[in-house]
Structure 1
């Protein structure tokens, strides 16, 4: 079958199938969450509120903001991720006497500045509604840590009391995140067939979060203007909230040891007839480095090269199953379309450890692989931080990190 005939069929199948969406957490959610005590409708978001075990009013609120994804936050996803894994964080918080406020957004890929409006409203409602004067703990997972960081800092810049004693972040990309240029290029290359992957990579939140971004498959990776604008807006409100104590955790190690991905190694290979020739590589360092060869229902194979980027996909930090998600999504298509692919490497570093603990930038090899354990903790913009004992999935909920957080809650 010719490319001209197979192209429309592939497009229809892609659009009818689950989209390629890069995000941490379960791809399928099959849980029945406990009914919340209250649901707050907020500007641009929703909060699901669970009172502490045995309580019937809000007394010691902990706000937990959702992270980067596409589409609206759902209670089912948050419950599955925070409560149904190896460590039941919601139960642990409630049993420790804290009220859990799960903060979600109408669009998780919207600008961090826009979603901060929902965070601001949640903070002010919690302050107004709590019984007594126990201070709040406010933070979030991944992007949610940046949303709440900006919201608290902006409230302070406006002279508004946010009643918060502790700000916390969970593998948040304070110095930037990374999606491999190879994956971004593939997303834009198939835009005419199915735009949803490209739309996510070009969303406001992605542009603000990513240290290197491309808007077209053949662009040169660079800091997007959206990221520059976000960093400027953050700087204009002081960069960080100053009144609360600031803590954070990283899903990456502090030893400076990477995740084992060999720089330049083949990560995804197209095997089906419609995609054979496609090869996506782990990011290599150096100039004029091949990161992707692209062929999807076309005659020609296009190449993508980068220069001057560090080996960020191999760096110590929280990992994202980006290569695996892409291959799994393609392999779910009907086999006759010829879109079968193999992920030789499934995951890559998404939030470098040095970014999650706000102690180094991510733009050089030396910075990315800095052994955090050997540094003076005072170099971090956080007052205190904890790194994981292994490089693990981005925002993975573990007893190691969560018990450390709970011990420090007001």
Structure 2
């Protein structure tokens, strides 16, 4: 019998908060640290990037739910090119607010010498960095911006060499949908290769208890001057991308179908063909392919805060089971507890990592062991698009992918890293493999 993964909360936080005095609430807010959007990428400093040869201001080719998304693209022509000739579009990933294309350039070009993007340009490939003004909005809306970018590249390209189109993280999902949608609508995207760089094809993971703590912190200390801690978690893109999601700190129920936005997006993705058919599909995964996860024992406490009248405990995601405790928050006498049932041990799974626990620890001001700072964000089986239904794939999290049969992935070829590195990390193994895939193009 297949059980649906779920979460259950006892002693609703709202009723617990109502039992606190004003002084107690203030003390708890002080203990829970500073305001700010949890899990959002910190604003980078000054990023060194060459001045683009041109910049395109982009508007989505169609609205989604009445919203028309916008964005921009920075075009860096290949060495010796005076016009767009061999375009490669690299779309930005998940985050809050607008893309920083200079930071995107610096990220992909700083880990090796010469840098990855410089190598592309030396190979005669024109690099188009695609960004979005609202990275957190609906994937379909930003996909419309990607469609406009593809159309603009075709329009301005000299000659008839095909395109390479893809992206990092969410950017791989946005371009996947954009190319598939164009094929369904009969539009010629003229794309020969599609690539995704640690993209959550089956879903991404942020620990459920940390999602709940973001909501809880926000409710105790509302920020009237801007977005709260859970703003990124509640965004349309997060709801569409996360394998498991909760709508607030008191939610009890299924976690894979908690958001209708994810269900609607997956249905929409199926409607446009699931994956584009024409391009050769490449996948890069920041996780290892041999099934080896991180040393994060399921159910281990990470946080243990005692600050009268507040006590807080949060645990690494347990492995399956029923009503497995993931968090406890005690406000004096009342206690809020959260427990999951039939949820796999995602935190330690092989995959691209995110410092989810570390960011929350820093925001609250809690000590945390270094090994607990990072947990799995995009499982390797998700990044290589294992041929599974996104609602029921969790039992394969630790699967050995080294000799995966061809019909077990939706991609044509993929490469896993040699260690479980940070999500989006530009590793030598992945980049060398990708450059080899492009060598004959």
Residue equivalent to 2:73: 47
Residue 327 of structure 1 pairs with residue 361 of structure 2: yes
Written as runs of structure 1 = structure 2, the 5 A alignment for 1:9-408 is: 14-15=34-35, 18-23=36-41, 28-43=44-59, 44-86=70-112, 88-192=115-219, 193-194=221-222, 196-219=228-251, 220=253, 221-223=255-257, 224-270=259-305, 273=307, 276-285=310-319, 286-294=321-329, 300-331=334-365, 340-342=366-368, 345-361=372-388, 363=392, 366-408=395-437
Secondary structure, aligned partner of 1:81:
helix
Shift of 1:82: 1.3
Secondary structure, aligned partner of 1:128:
helix
Gaps of 5+ in 1: 332-339
Give me the whole-angstrom Cα distance separating, in 2, the residues matched to 1:298 and 1:56. 69
RMSD between superposed Cα atoms in Å: 2.2
Secondary structure, aligned partner of 1:169:
strand
Secondary structure, aligned partner of 2:311:
coil
Gaps of 5+ in 2: 1-21, 60-69
The answer (yes or no) to whether the contact 1:323–1:343 under 8 Å persists in 2 is no
Shift of 1:364: 5.5
Q: 1:63 to 1:287 in 2, by over 3 A?
A: same
Q: 1:65 to 1:398 in 2, by over 3 A?
A: same
Q: TM (normalized to structure 2)?
A: 0.84
Residue equivalent to 1:3: 24
Give me the whole-angstrom Cα distance separating, in 1, the residues matched to 2:210 and 2:96. 16
Residue equivalent to 2:64: none
Residue equivalent to 2:15: none
Runs of 4+ in 1 over 3 A off after TM superposition: 4-11, 297-301, 340-344, 360-366
Shift of 1:329: 2.4
Shift of 1:121: 0.6
The answer (yes or no) to whether the contact 2:387–2:407 under 8 Å persists in 1 is no
Q: 1:80 to 1:294 in 2, by over 3 A?
A: farther
Give me the whole-angstrom Cα distance separating, in 2, the residues matched to 1:64 and 1:391. 23
Shift of 1:267: 2.2
Alignment size in residue pairs: 395
Shift of 1:275: 8.4
Residue equivalent to 2:13: none
Q: TM (normalized to structure 1)?
A: 0.90
The answer (yes or no) to whether the contact 1:269–1:343 under 8 Å persists in 2 is no
Give me the whole-angstrom Cα distance separating, in 2, the residues matched to 1:381 and 1:115. 23
Give me the whole-angstrom Cα distance separating, in 1, the residues matched to 2:377 and 2:414. 19
Shift of 1:109: 0.8
Q: 1:165-203: per-residue Cα shift (whole Å, max 9, x none)? A: 000001111111111111111111112214522111111
